[in-house]
Amino acid sequence: MALSYAIIGTGGIGGYYGGCLAKFGKDVHFLFHSDYEFVKQYGLQVDSVRGDFHLQSVQAYGNSSEMPKCDVVLVCMKTTNNHLLKAILSSIVHANSVVVLIQNGLGIEKQLADEMPGVSIVGATAFICTTKIGPGHVHHAEYGSLTMAKYCGECEAVLQQIAADFEEAGVQVNVGDDLNSIRWKKLVWNIPYNGLTVVLNAETDDLTFNPDTRQLVIDLMNEVVAAGRACGAKISDTFVSKMIDMTEKMTPYSPSMRVDYDAHRPMEIQAMYSNPIQIALQHGYAMKKTEVVEKQLRFLAQKR
């Protein structure tokens, strides 16, 4: 089956994944904000470690109400804007649409399901280093795989087709059946590296190779693993060491929260820190170290 796609949030994530799909002939509709006029005139440029490409003709929209109803909606915007999601989606989804949340954090699928009952929802995490570096211009530095799992709805066949479309476009996709574990595994990396790069004004290599901050990263990772397990997530004993090894090989990088902080944009504190802390506490586990980072981030956000 041929699926139509809507990209909500055409930054580093949406620009790269949507761009890959469009490059390989998929029917992709992009929602832009400040870049709309630029992209309509000049197109979308993706500089990628896997090969640069330019889309001159882009199905671009400046308002979601102007977009057609699509089979698949890839939500790639920051969770700080999720309060707008219901209004954005209302004119784009049809009865059988599948909404894929390619976002960071925990509890975001439940929030959308509560606001839009009956909508099929898939959660996804991106293992990628990509950033929007200018109007209609995305830089993809490393990695790029997606991991997805159904949250609710009858969408198994469509989910398999989404995976096939991405694979055809050169994006590795892993379809799982345990979204809770997928979300907590992503937090094992996100909680230490996103927050500490902001609090300590550092990049990933600074934190990884300094012995003091390396131990702090490991301590936070172990706490997230323990919290995830308390919430039923399946995370192996070797997962923390794998995350450290992976980061050692990674090109020095400013994660999304550090990029947002430097650009004076809201940080994803609620979805990435507060929600996991609250959910873990409901399961009897107190994330004491993570709470410290959360409070530091909220202080810096309020100071801004």
The catalytic residues are: 186
125: Cβ contacts below 8 Å, ≥ 6 apart: 102, 104, 146, 147, 182, 183, 185, 186
> Do β-strands 53-55 and 44-48 pair in parallel, antiparallel, or remain unpaired?
antiparallel
Is residue 13 within 8 Å of 102, Cβ to Cβ?
A: yes
Rounded Cα gap, residues 245 and 218, in angstroms: 12
C-alpha 35/C-alpha 60 separation (Å) is 10
Token code pair at residue 126: 């991106």
Asked if residues 108 and 271 have their Cβ atoms less than 8 Å apart, the reply is yes
Pairing state of beta strands 27-31 and 60-61?
Answer: parallel
DSSP 3-state assignment of 155? coil
Measured CA to CA in angstroms, residue 185 lies from 239, 247, 271 at distances of 8, 15, 14
Vertex 215 angle, CA 214 and 219, to 5°: 120
What long-range pairs does 289-294 form, CB within 8 A, spacing at least 24? 289/219, 289/220, 289/223, 290/191, 290/220, 290/223, 290/224, 290/227, 293/191, 293/192, 293/195, 293/196, 293/199, 293/220, 294/195, 294/269
